[in-house]
Chains A and B, each alone.
Chain A
Amino acid sequence: MTGPGHDWRAAVLAREAGRLAGNRLWRLETPGGPVLQKYYCQKAGPLRTAWRAAWTRWIRGATSPRAVERWRTEREMLALWGAAGIAVPRDRTAEFPHLAGERVAILEWIEGRDLARLLAAGGLPRPERDAVLCRFGAAWGGRQRLAMERGDPRFAQVHGSLVHYLVSGERMVCIDHEQAYFPGRPVLPALAREAASCLRSLAKCGDPETFRRDLAAVAAGHPDRALLRSLAEAVSRLPFAGRGKRALGAALAEAAGSPS
């Protein structure tokens, strides 16, 4: 606490500053090109974190939101998804041991824009927009099919959102794997939760008519219509599914039924 204006407000602010409250991501320049340094930090105080950890574990069946756990989980998921051929950032921690450490991962730097912002900006002409969404649908659907085939909910994203897809040239790279569902849990509800989040985020990228057309483009790229219909049904049946989720499920069902 410094300066002549030192008072109780400043003291409260200083106390509030007692934690980082969220991850930090830095672009680091190395002789081999840029990399991303991700520092996993505690997002909330100890009580809230403990409560969230219990809720996530026992109710959602997913790994802990504690920083150390998120650090471990993300690296495990990147290895798992990468080995399955899904486009994810490469974990380059082993290549840069002098930049890594406890709660620090070094990831591939991906030049690109996240899908949500790209769509919300509205600058893409409809054919290009459809092409991007079609690619997203193909990547998304391919992963859903893999999860169902393997019976492994770890292939569902806990934080599903279009913000977590980076469009980098022809690549559609899925990021943010800090939490994962435990293996052995039912797969379809996990995929449905992710789908609901993705649809909600897609709905925010334009008006209802744009959403309908966007969803049709996603469905057109999806490799498995039957799975998409099951997902639509599962979204509507999610626990505590309100009007919003039911509407999203209905929209998905409509898109899944539409001709590709």
Chain B
Amino acid sequence: MGRGREAANSEKAGRVRYSADDPSVEAPSPRPPAVPLDEVPATTLRLADLEKVPLAGEGNFVWKIPFRGGHAVLKVYYGSRGWPLYLRKTLGNRITGRSSHMPRTRWRTETEVIALWEGRGFRCFRMLPQVTVEGLPREGYMAYEWTPGRHFREYFRDKAVPLEERLATWRRWIPQWHRRHRIAVDTADPRWIHENGDVKHVMLWKGEFIYFDFEMVYRSRNIRFLVGREIVTYMRSAGRFLGEEMYGRMLAELVEHYPDKALLMAAWEHAYADPNAAMAAARALDRNLRPRHRDRWSKYRVAREVKELLDRASLNIR
């Protein structure tokens, strides 16, 4: 997405050119998404010779492999699923407004998104495209730098880390999260939304936040709603994995420190206030009829909780 398109979208949005560049947020400098050749020279590996430690459950094959005296991650997009399932999931994705589930598309999407995010200073797993694996189609796998960080899911429930320190980390992350959301809104590019974003897919490593798992992206251009959806997904996963108390604290911190409260309200709007009457009706049926939305960590309930706190912070509502 070029700057020209960005400007055009911004113009359309409000006749004023908006930008995500918040001078108060220190943005990490961009870096190449791939490890340069002078750091890691071209290498060819034989799959059969590798000592593989599985890292992920279903779908793709994700292995930790020995590499140049250390480790690397090898992700093979042609995983354990058969073609009928890929086709079925692709059809499902089409209906729900996501990119294709086919292995090559997932490979392309992931590598594109990593390049995009790294280009604006968001740290992802660095790619090692110079690593070739014999016997695999070139657009079917990618080696990544080994990044032994701590997942948010583990870090935030680790009682060995003082609570104040964990909350300080959360507060440090919130402006970066908002910065990405603003870029998404300003560029109208759904690739800035973490489709599989939750506390399992962000890591803390060497003081930086590392994002991963970008195999699919949304296709909708209603970016505000996608932002809202991502916020709810992260907070639901925080509730589910970290428990009620930690969730409550994190939500309160989110509402207090998320720089753009109006954009945060999109969390509620995407669930309750769709301007498309057909979608609004579908949502109403969904939240009222589906038993899974009676769950404590239903997206609708989390969305309402975000709104309640935002309303309490609003000067004309409380």
Contacts and interface: CB of A to CB of B under 8 A. Distances in A.
Interface of A: 1-4, 6, 11, 14-15, 17-20, 22-28, 30-31, 36-37, 39, 93-94, 97-104
A73 B288 CA distance: 38
Contact of A98 (B260, B269, B293): B260
Contacts of A28: 259-261
A92 to B, nearest CB: 12
A103 B18 CA distance: 13
B151 interface: no
Contacts of A20: 265, 269, 273
Contacts of B304: 17
Contacts of A1: 287-288, 293-294, 298, 300
A99 B260 contact: yes
Given A24-B310, A25-B315, A18 B272 contact: yes
Which of the four size classes fits the interface of chain B?
Answer: 35 or more
A160 B313 CA distance: 26
A11 B301 CA distance: 13
B301 A24 contact: no
B191 interface: no
A104 B186 CA distance: 14
Contacts of B272: 14, 17-19
B262 interface: yes
Interface stretch (B19-27, B98-106, B141-149): B19-27
7 contacts: A17-B272, A24-B310, A94-B16, A98-B19, A98-B20, A101-B13, A101-B18
B311 interface: yes
B259 A24 contact: no
Given A98-B19, A101-B13, 10 more contacts: A6-B294, A17-B304, A18-B272, A20-B269, A24-B316, A26-B313, A26-B314, A31-B23, A39-B262, A98-B22
Interface string B278-317: 0010001001100001111010110010010011011111
Contacts of A23: 316
A22 to B, nearest CB: 7
Contact of B16 (A19, A39, A97, A99): A97
A253 B260 CA distance: 48
A37 B261 contact: yes
A112 B145 CA distance: 55
Nearest to B290: A1
Interface string B83-100: 000000000000000000
B52 interface: no
B74 interface: no
A25 B19 contact: no
B246 interface: no
A97 B20 CA distance: 7
A19 B273 contact: yes
